[in-house]
């Protein structure tokens, strides 16, 4: 169950129509996960994807959205360090999504080696990461500073490969890797960016390892277009946020009823009805939540208002 602080972070993301991609602190929690936990999710996202459409092997950005998880975070691919860069990619991201990516990192496991304990794997990963000699990242031409302060360790995680068509098989030069890989750990430097404003952005990042590790330097250039979220997408995100609150069932169910009614109206393109149902949601918040959870209530009301304004603009343009 999300804490109030976590919900405020998520709702601020939904409200941030003009956000410029500020870097979240290391102790940030998004969708109930810490930065370290998101690093494990990133590996669990990218490693099992087929080599035919894996975002890490992508040289154009065509596969950036493959297998993206539901929720508030868009995972951005880096590179394997087995081929020279730069990797220049062009892709779109829905409005309101945080961007999460590795500036540079290392993952340790027991594939193709004598079994190591979790502590030994962590020591191995830390040794490799200690050899990183420089990091760089920028957004829209503005350098992101203090990157070495953004180190994050993952919890122990595991991945099951049903076939050998995965990124680790590529990383091991075609040696088939399949089945359960457990345990796995990650260490490195990771950034979580606030949702970007609608429009075009340029994100660059990467790093370089010194001896004795001779990976190719990571050099990623991402041309990102943030697409406006539809009112329906906004309601879906708001429903997810409300479900994650600690509000009692007696308050929660009437709020979800109004939001689900608004969702159904948007699906049937009845914008006026959807606006009325969102107004009802706001009134319920004022009557039931404002007195006890004023910060959460204000964020929910403002988020609903953004969706109302978007729907009203669509009505005016018809």
Backbone conformation region of residue 145, classed left if phi is above 0, alpha if psi is from -120 to 50, else beta: beta
The model's pLDDT over 187-233, given as tens digits with 9 standing for 90+, comes to 999 999 999 998 999 999 999 999 999 899 999 999 999 998 889 98
Q: What pLDDT is recorded for position 1?
A: 36
- Mean pLDDT by runs of 10 across the 318 residues of the chain is 44 45 91 94 98 97 95 93 93 92 98 96 98 97 98 98 97 96 98 95 97 92 92 90 89 96 96 97 95 88 90 88
pTM of the model: 0.76
Write down the pLDDT at residue 286.
96
Give me the phi and psi of 191, to 5 degrees please.
Answer: -125, 140
Name beta bridge partners: 137.
205
The alpha carbon of residue 211 and the mean position of all alpha carbons in its chain are separated, in whole angstroms, by 32
CB of 14 within 8 A of CB of 92?
no
Terminal C-alpha separation, the chain: 41
Backbone angles phi, psi at 137, to 5 degrees: -160, 145
In degrees and rounded to multiples of 5, residue 8 shows phi and psi of -65, -45
Q: Assign 178 to helix, strand or coil.
A: coil
Q: What is the Cα–Cα distance from 125 to 27, expressed in whole angstroms?
A: 21
Supply the pLDDT for residue 5.
45
Domain residue spans of the chain: 4-227, 231-316
Output the pLDDT for position 294. 86
CA dist 265 and 275 (Å) reads 9
Cα separation, 292 vs 297, in Å, equals 9
Per residue in 114-160, pLDDT tens?
Answer: 999 999 999 999 999 999 999 999 999 999 999 999 999 999 999 99
Q: Read out DSSP for 120-160?
A: HHHHHHHHHHTTEEEEEEEETTEEPP-GGG-EEEPPPEEEE
- The pLDDT value recorded for residue 171 is 93
Task: Supply the Cα-derived Rg of the chain in whole angstroms.
Answer: 21
Residue 290 CA, chain-centre distance (Å), reads: 30
């Amino acid at each position: 169950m999300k804490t109030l602080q976590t919900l405020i972070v998520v709702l601020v993301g939904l409200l941030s129509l003009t956000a410029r991609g500020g870097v979240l602190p290391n102790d940030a929690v998004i969708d109930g996960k810490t930065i370290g936990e998101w690093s494990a999710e990133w590996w669990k996202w990218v490693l099992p994807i087929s080599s035919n459409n894996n975002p890490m092997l992508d040289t154009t950005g065509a596969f950036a959205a493959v297998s993206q998880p539901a929720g508030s975070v868009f995972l951005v691919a880096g590179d394997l360090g087995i081929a020279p860069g730069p990797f220049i990619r062009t892709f779109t991201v829905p409005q309101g999504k945080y961007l999460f990516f590795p500036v540079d990192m290392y993952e340790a496991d027991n594939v193709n080696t004598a079994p190591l304990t979790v502590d030994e794997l962590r020591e191995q990963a830390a040794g490799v990461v200690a050899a990183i000699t420089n990091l760089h990242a920028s957004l829209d031409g503005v350098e992101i500073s203090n990157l070495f302060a953004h180190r994050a360790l993952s919890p122990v995680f595991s991945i099951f490969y049903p076939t050998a068509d995965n990124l680790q098989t590529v990383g091991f030069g075609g040696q088939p890797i399949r089945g359960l890989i457990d345990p796995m750990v990650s260490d490195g430097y990771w950034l979580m960016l606030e949702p970007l404003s609608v429009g075009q952005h340029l994100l660059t990042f990467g790093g370089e390892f010194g001896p004795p590790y001779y990976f190719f330097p990571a050099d990623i250039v991402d041309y990102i277009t943030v697409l406006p979220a539809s009112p329906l997408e906004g309601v879906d995100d708001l429903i997810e946020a409300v479900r994650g609150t600690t509000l009692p069932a007696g308050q929660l169910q009437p709020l979800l009823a109004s939001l689900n009614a608004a969702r159904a109206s948007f699906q049937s393109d009845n914008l006026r009805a959807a606006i009325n149902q969102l107004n009802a949601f706001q009134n319920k918040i004022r009557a039931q939540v404002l007195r006890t959870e004023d910060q959460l209530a204000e964020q929910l009301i403002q988020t609903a208002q953004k969706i109302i304004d978007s729907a009203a603009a669509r009505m005016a343009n018809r």
